[in-house]
Amino acid sequence: MQARDTRNMDRTKRGFSLVEIMIVVVVIGILAAIVAPQFSNSSDEARFSGTIDNLRELRSQIDLYRNQHQGRLPGVTGGDPDTVFAGQMTLPTDVQGNRSPNVDQGFGDADFPLGPYIPNAVPPNPFNNSRRVKTVSQLPASAPGGGGPTAPGWIYEITSGRIRVNATGTAKNGQRFWDL
């Protein structure tokens, strides 16, 4: 009897055929198409949750500022209201709302005993990543929207202390982002 040469057989059976590889690629593509929308929904939900958390923080700190400053709201003292608001919320202030001239000043200064209410900077709007606060005398009916570095992240009504996110669109529950 003659022995079979199995070395040549092993070489030809290694690897996958082109058809097998194509089938695997198609299956992976189908799975990716099913899973990808789930990730985009998760991103929207995360932005929505982040917005609610940031609004809650901003609103509570505006209320604290008002209580400690004899009913005055941030952004009311002289100067550009947009920058005054951010300064009064992120720097120590006195009872009249005057901001500390020293940006690196910490807590406990006798001249500026109140605040800061928000550490470091105003939180970003999760929809456009802007920290800028646009101060208005009356809130518009809907968000101005827009993106980019010059778009405000937040719209603050200086007369009432209300603050809203500058974002158009609606959440899964049908609520407009502007109405949060």
Cβ atoms of residues 51 and 180 within 8 Å: yes
Helices (H), ranges, 69-121: 81-90
Residue 16 lies in a domain: no
Residue 147 lies in a domain: yes
Check residue 7 and give its pLDDT.
Answer: 56
Residue 44 lies in a domain: no
Check residue 104 and give its pLDDT.
Answer: 61
CB crowding 105-140: b at 16 or more within 10 Å, else e: eeeeeeebebbbbbeeebbbbbbbebebbbbbeebe
Distance CA 180, CA 54 (A): 11
For 88-97, write each residue's pLDDT tens digit. 999 888 989 8
Counted domains in the chain: 1
Check residue 123 and give its pLDDT.
Answer: 93
Helices (H), ranges, the chain: 7-13, 18-68, 81-90
pTM (2 d.p.)? 0.74
Cβ atoms of residues 118 and 89 within 8 Å: yes
Cβ neighbours for 114, distance < 8 A, ≥ 6 positions apart:
65, 68, 69, 92, 93, 94, 95
Residue 8 lies in a domain: no
Tens-digit pLDDT string for the chain (180 aa): 555 555 555 556 678 889 999 999 999 999 888 877 766 667 778 888 899 999 999 999 999 999 999 999 998 777 788 888 998 999 888 989 888 877 665 555 778 899 899 988 899 999 889 999 999 999 988 888 776 667 899 999 999 999 999 988 888 888 888 898
Residue 173 is part of which domain span? 57-179
Q: Tell me which DSSP letter residue 178 carries.
A: G
Backbone angles phi, psi at 14, to 5 degrees: -75, 150
Check residue 41 and give its pLDDT.
Answer: 64
Distance CA 105, CA 119 (A): 12
Check residue 11 and give its pLDDT.
Answer: 57
Check residue 48 and give its pLDDT.
Answer: 87
Distance CA 162, CA 133 (A): 12
Distance CA 100, CA 90 (A): 10
User: What is the helix (H) or strand (E) element at residue 133, kind and residue range?
Assistant: strand 133-136
